[in-house]
Amino acid sequence: MATSMATAPARVPATVSETEHLPTLVTRLGDDVMQLVDSKISLLKVELKEEANTFIHSGVAIAIGAVITVVGFALVNVAVALGVATLFANTNFSQAAQYGLGFVITGALYVFLGSIIVMAMKSRLARQKIVPPRTVAEIRKDAQWLKKEL
């Protein structure tokens, strides 16, 4: 009977140190996952700051350009409007009507050109990626790694 026990060993119950080791491993796994999440959040913050800086610098440049454009627009608009008004010198319009037509035609031209510029800048900003690509790639890699491990 002793020989039969030697050939078929019974399962030995886990020792106290082995059962205490499992919670330690689970705790360490939880800590590692939290550290991974923290690093991904840090990467996301860095990328969002980079994107925000890009938008801020572009916005400031657009604002400065707009102020310069407004000053230039005012000066050029007056000169062009007076020039267009001289085209109506041989008509029966009064002097005020000639100036008025010159300013209306010039204003319409600038509204058209300004619309083209605004649409071009809008499309440029629309091409800017909102989703941080490095963070998304890292999260996908980590998700695949977790699937393999579990």
pLDDT for 80 equals 85
Which tokens belong to 128?
A: 């800017």
Cα separation, 59 vs 122, whole angstroms:
11
Residue labelled with tokens 């399962």: 11
- Select the more confidently predicted residue: 136 or 112: 112
The reply to whether 59 falls in a domain is yes
The reply to whether 78 falls in a domain is yes
Mean pLDDT confidence for 107-119: 90
Tell whether the model's pLDDT for residue 10 goes beyond 80: no
CA angle 133/138/144 to nearest 5° reads: 130
Are 135 and 47 in contact by the 8 Å Cβ rule? The answer is yes
The reply to whether 63 falls in a domain is yes
pLDDT cut 90: percent of the chain above it: 13
Owning domain of residue 83: 48-129
The reply to whether 32 falls in a domain is no
Which region among 2-16, 31-45, 74-88 has the lowest average model confidence (pLDDT)?
2-16
Query: How many independent structural domains does the chain possess?
Result: 1
Q: How confident is the model at residue 1 (pLDDT cuts 50, 70, 90)?
A: very low
Tell whether the model's pLDDT for residue 23 goes beyond 90: no
pLDDT in tens, 49-72: 888 888 898 889 999 999 998 898
Neighbours of 126 (CB within 10 A): 8
Cα separation, 65 vs 76, whole angstroms:
16
pLDDT cut 70: percent of the chain above it: 86
Q: Is the pTM of this model over 0.75?
A: no
Mean pLDDT confidence for 30-42: 87
The reply to whether 106 falls in a domain is yes
Mean pLDDT confidence for 112-139: 86
pLDDT in tens, 68-86: 988 987 888 788 888 888 8
The reply to whether 40 falls in a domain is no
pLDDT for 63 equals 92
The reply to whether 67 falls in a domain is yes
The reply to whether 96 falls in a domain is yes
